[in-house]
Structure 1
Amino acid sequence: MDDGAADWEAALTMAQDAVQDGISTVVATPHHANGVYMNPAPNIGEAVRLLNERIQESGIPLLVLPGQEIRMYGDLLDDLEQSQLLTLAGSRYILLEMPSSLVPRTMEETCHELVIQGFVPVIAHPERNAEVAASPARLERLIELGAVGQVTAQSLAGTFGSKLQKLSLELCRRNAVHVIASDAHDSRHRPFGLSEAFKVLEEELGTVVSGIFRQNSQSIIANEELIRVIYTKTNKKLHRMFGFFSRKS
């Protein structure tokens, strides 16, 4: 549907990769309205249904849920009202993508309006946005309005370079990021890599923080509140006391 798996065989290989990385549930978030791909809600629902059928036939223990990665655009709120947009797994959480070069001038207004309507904007890979990199306060302002930040696993793991890794960790320390996403596109160049990202997070910020990130991912699926204040200077010292947070479900 976009620049992810090219065919069914590739999709099933990715499903197997996900399981091997310790993943039991994936939210499919094909790009929508990014200037290249248009994937309205009805198309995604049908594709996810067919994918789950093939996964079950192959005996792969993985569940795929519907979602979208929605690029910021002028008709976003109208299209949401017209049921052309999907939240993550039918929850109140809606995944928004900014262009890499800047924070759109309507970003704060859109996030504010979504929150008023009962949605929670999830800001995809803010660490890859030039304005956020130059001034993390731009992201922090969106968090103050009610959004949550979602960092990409490979950014956190250092796969995309030390500069992006440093920024990703800094955003976590600022409590401007609350969840890790694989942003997996294929099995070779953009694999899942969540286990490696959580390993780095635990080493750098402690078991408590890593456990909360895991819990927040599950909370999105369950449409529950996230823990937003994730990192304090004492988190790392308390990792043994609160080690139960990092249990894998």
Structure 2
Amino acid sequence: MIDIHCHILPDIDDGPKTFDESMAMARMAAADGVAGIVATPHLNEKLYDPAEITRRVAWLNHLLRKEKIPLSIMRGADVSVVFKPTDVQGFTINDTEYIMVDFPHTQLPKNADDILYQFIVNGYKPIITHPERNPSISANPKLLLDLLGDDIYVQVTAGSLTGEFGKESQQCAQHLLRAGVVDVIATDAHSATWRKPLLSSGMQAAAEIVGIDAAQRMVFGTPVKIISGLPL
């Protein structure tokens, strides 16, 4: 499995504080069957230097090789829409055109469609992160459905499907699955003790709704295309 949304880099956001904590997350993910993780630190208050993210990714990969943990870390970011698309060119997933787009957690902006359009005209393929956890969308999933079109994709959280984020988020994630608009499932993990990097349980929960083939595609086939920059 490939996890395209995970806060595994240390001392950069509200994820792990040390490389030891990052390694604990990596061991847990690998034991769960994850072979690749896109490190997606929050980009919501300031623009980090992309080189600093690259440095952390490289060192974490070095530690993984040293301990012979079968897991690869790639670079990305969880990009808040407070930034203009022209400001975030160095924060795509694995240097592809795909980029994680994070709307405010309290509501969906009225200009959400224009925000996504601006990303597209600037050459990006936006992936909307965890929309099922946005109160506006969980109360009215049609708000999300009306935004979707060519080169706009949807990522739901594994923990939402298993009920970790409450009933409303779970029901919304299930509704989006049934509507056929979920492209990928990811963990949005932050720790080895809370918000854990466990992806298989989300896949299994999705399989109960859309079948095992479709669920596996959301954690295998589609994420592989994303990190490879291939069309979906």
Structure 2 match to 1:18 = 29
Which of 133, 136, 142 aligns to 1:131? It is: 136
Which of 168, 171, 186 aligns to 2:176? It is: 171
- Provide TM-score, normalisation by structure 2: 0.89
Partner letter of residue 78 of structure 2? E
Which of 56, 63, 70 aligns to 2:65? It is: 56
Structure 2 CA distance for partners of 1:106 and 1:46, relative to 1, 3 Å: farther
Which one has a bigger Cα radius of gyration?
Answer: 1
Contact 1:139 1:176 in 2 (8 A): no
- Answer 1 or 2: higher relative contact order, Cα 8 Å, separation at least 6: 2
- Within a 5 Å distance, the mapping from 1:196-215 to structure 2 comes to 196-214=201-219, 215=221
Which of 14, 29, 54 aligns to 2:40? It is: 29
RMSD of aligned alpha carbons: 1.6
Partner letter of residue 24 of structure 2? T
Unaligned runs of 5+ residues in structure 2 are: 1-11
Q: Secondary structure at the match of 1:176?
A: coil
Structure 1 match to 2:81 = 72
- Within a 5 Å distance, the mapping from 1:125-164 to structure 2 comes to 125-144=130-149, 146-164=151-169
Which of 209, 224, 229 aligns to 1:223? It is: 229
Structure 1 match to 2:105 = 100
Deviation at 1:52, TM superposition (A): 1.0
Structure 1 match to 2:93 = 88
Q: Which moved more, 1:194-203 or 1:52-61?
A: 52-61
| Residue-by-residue CA offset, 1:125-155 (whole Å, 9 max, x unaligned) | 1011111112212211221253111001100
Deviation at 1:78, TM superposition (A): 2.7
Paired with 1:62 and 1:145, the residues of 2 have a C-alpha distance of 32
Structure 2 CA distance for partners of 1:40 and 1:139, relative to 1, 3 Å: farther
Q: Secondary structure at the match of 1:94?
A: strand
Which of 179, 182, 185 aligns to 2:187? It is: 182
Partner letter of residue 85 of structure 2? L
Deviation at 1:38, TM superposition (A): 4.5
Unaligned runs of 5+ residues in structure 1 are: 227-249
Contact 1:153 1:192 in 2 (8 A): no
Structure 1 residue 46 and structure 2 residue 52: aligned? Answer: no
Paired with 1:54 and 1:207, the residues of 2 have a C-alpha distance of 34
Structure 2 CA distance for partners of 1:221 and 1:136, relative to 1, 3 Å: same
| Residue-by-residue CA offset, 1:44-84 (whole Å, 9 max, x unaligned) | 111111111121112211110000001111x422313xx4x
Q: Which moved more, 1:194-203 or 1:217-226?
A: 217-226
Paired with 1:114 and 1:56, the residues of 2 have a C-alpha distance of 36
Aligned residues: 220
- Provide TM-score, normalisation by structure 1: 0.83
